Each structure stands twice: as C-alpha cells, then as structure tokens.
Structure 1
C-alpha cells in the first residue's frame, strides 16, 4: 500500500500531497494548484494576509479591554476603600478624567463582568492561605474575602470586593497564583458595555473621540 504524505501550510492554504500542491475548495475537495485561476489565488492570498492582521489586532484589542477593565476596577476599589466614594451611578456608568481635563475615559455598562470556573481555583488557593495564616492574617483581608465570594440574590459575586483582593500586596506564591486565576476568570458578559476614549487640546475645546472602530477610524 502506498503511503500518502500530506503537509499543510495554513498561512497559504496550500496542502501538499505526495509532493503535489493543492488547495481545498469551499466543498472540501482538493484542487490542484495549477488548475486554480490566478485571480482566485491572488484573492486568497490577499484575504489571508488581511485576516492574519485582523485576527492579531482582535486579540490585541481583547487584551487591551481586559487590562483596561482591571485598571479601572482597581481605581474603583481604591476609591471605595480609601475614601468611601465611587465614580459613577448605580447602573455602573462612569467617567474618568485626567487632572488637566484634556483626556477622559467613559464606561457605559448594561451588563456586569462575570467570572469563569477559574474563580473556584482562586477561592481554593485563598482558603489555603487564610487557613495557614489564621493566627496572623489581617482581619480586613478575611472580611474582603468573605464579601467577595458571597453571592447576592441573583447569584452574582461582589465584583468590587474581587478587585480589592487584586489590590492586596501579598507576596505568598499561592496568593499570587490565586490572583492570576481571578484575572483569567474575568469575562465581560453581553455586548452592552462600552468603553470610549476622548481627548482635546484645551479645556475650551470640544472632546474628540479616540476611535477604536474600523468604520470611524
């Protein structure tokens, strides 16, 4: 029986079978590269190039939004902990502004950030830490942990208290792994949370959006 040697090249879409080049069509059939029209090969090449950049950019924007949510959550937690105040109204809509009044970030929220199963891992690691520290653990940390993981009547955990946990400066390796698990567990649920960015050259001028939208870039 002859051995079929197959090699795939995802970046070009070419499949090499026994040294011969093919491309799969929309039905999954392998078409010899020599039989594909030049314009079809050119179109395939251009679309793959653009999609490579688009996928990378999508991942970068996702990471940016994740980090931005963590940073703003840290700020909310700091204000709540240190000053007993918070930015925004009861629905979660918030505006953050630089001291000179030339840049601002607006967050419009319909749905809250949710947390995935990694949060259970974080809770187990935190419990290990607290059990071991029991005699010397600061009571305020225990209190934050209790409030953070207590669910409300709708089954949601306390997001602000979770962010307070992330702000604690604790060097224990298990605690750090727990904080990593919390960050990994974070999910933005729904599609009704928007973060918008604005800047202006002086306080007498109107705001100009910093657009992250292909239709308006």
Structure 2
C-alpha cells in the first residue's frame, strides 16, 4: 500500500491523521525535530558500522589468505580467533568467533525439575540461591533468555546431607545439557589502542553505552 502524501502545511500523526501544522503545539514540533534528527544520524552511524564490519571481515580474511599462500597452505572451515597488532604496537584488532547457542524444548524439562528442587529445598535453601537459580529462566524485555546465566547453572553443585549429588538436580542438569544447541557462529571485531608506552590497551568503544 502506497504511503499517503502529506499535504503542504500538514503533519501526519501516529494514527495516520493529517493535522494542520498551525494546530500542533510548539513543544511537539520541537520534539519531532530533535527525534527525527537523532534518528537520521543514528541510521547513518548504523550503516557505517555495518560497512566497517564487512570491510574488517574482508581485510582480515585477505590478510590470512596472503599468509597462507606464502606457505602454500589452504585455509578453510572455522576461521577462529585472531589478535593482530600494528607494527608499532599502538593498535590491536581482535577477531572473535562465538557460537550462537539456543535451547530446545528440553530446557522446559530442566526448568520444571529445577523448580521442583527449589520447592523441596524451600525450608532450608538460601533465598539468594533460589533467586539466582530462577533468575536464569527470566526472559529479558525481548523475550530472550540470558544464555550465560542458564549455562552458569551447570557450574552449581547441589549435594544432599550425605554428600551425594541431589538426583533430581542431576537430572535437571542432564536435561539442560541435552537442550543446548549450537545454531551458528557470530563474528565480533574489537579495536584497542595502547595506553601510553604500557602493555595495557584501551578498548575503542563502538557502542553508545560504552562511549563517554
């Protein structure tokens, strides 16, 4: 469906209605200008970051290929992690390959078993432990689980008074392990700059939260 053409002297509101500019509050117009300007600039930055990542991937791949050809080697399969440092040691580029982990329906079985353990332990279990365990299954605002928190449950050891691992907890961990599924890999690029003449490097922030 073609987007409606906004007549001269009107603005389209969030409901799709045409509103005369003369009837719009000055504060609303000012807010609209600020939001639109920031959104436009953000889209340009996002596109620049996308282009940077594509160029970085290609440049590093070319560097690896040149090195391989020098020794008559063929490079294929998993690209792996790399740390590249400039000749003067001032800059460092790190390529990291991370597995994309998802969970199958067996995670629900693990959650049910863990909840049963928490209920059974409720009289004697540390409330902070209960909170830690169940927080792992709390989705974020996007409805996604915190993969690191879920996998962190595998490091917890739950033993009975006789020193043996709790059978129900062990079954929950088996279900959790079986639910883990690798669905691909994600490539990350991080750039660092050396701090003075030290052996420490400062991360060059490429996300808003880390800037300033």
TM-score, normalised by the number of residues in structure 2: 0.52
Q: Contact between 1:76 and 1:86, CA under 8 Å: does it hold in 2?
A: no
Alignment partner for residue 96 of structure 2, among 92, 104, 108?
A: 108
Shift of 1:42: 0.7
**In the alignment, is residue 43 of structure 1 matched against residue 31 of structure 2?**
yes
What SS does the corresponding residue of 2:210 show, helix, strand or coil? coil
Distance, in Å, in 1 between the alignment partners of 2:62 and 2:21 is 54
Post-superposition offset of 1:199: 1.1
**Is 1:195 matched up with 2:183?**
no
Q: Deviation of residue 201 (structure 1)?
A: 4.2
The Cα shift of 1:86 comes to 9.3
Q: Which runs of 5+ in 2 are unaligned?
A: 101-182
Residue number in structure 1 paired with 2:204: 210
| 1:23 and 2:36 correspond | no
Distance 1:61 1:86, change over 3 A: farther
Could you tell me how far apart the structure 2 residues matched to 1:68 and 1:204 are?
A: 26
DSSP 3-state at the match of 1:109: strand
Following superposition, the deviation at residue 196 of structure 1 comes to 0.3
1:96 lines up with 2:84 in the alignment: yes
Query: Which of structures 1 and 2 has the larger relative contact order (alpha carbons within 8 angstroms, sep 6+)?
Result: 2
Determine the C-alpha separation between the residues in 2 that align with 1:47 and 1:98.
40
Query: Shift in Å at residue 101 of structure 1?
Result: 2.1
Q: 1:59 aligns with which of 23, 47, 51?
A: 47
1:28 to 1:191, Cα distance in 2 relative to 1, 3 A: farther
User: What is the TM-score of this pair, normalised by structure 1?
Assistant: 0.50
1:32 maps to what in 2? 20
Equivalent-residue separation in structure 1 for 2:39 and 2:94 (angstroms): 30
Q: Distance in 1 between matches of 2:30 and 2:196?
A: 48
1:74 correspondence with 2:68 = no
Does the 8 Å contact 2:195/2:202 carry over to 1? no
Q: What per-residue deviation string (whole Å, max 9, x for no partner) do you get for residues 83-131 of structure 1?
A: 25799xx66111111122221100111369xxxxxxxxxxxxxxxxxxx
* Higher CA-based Rg: 2
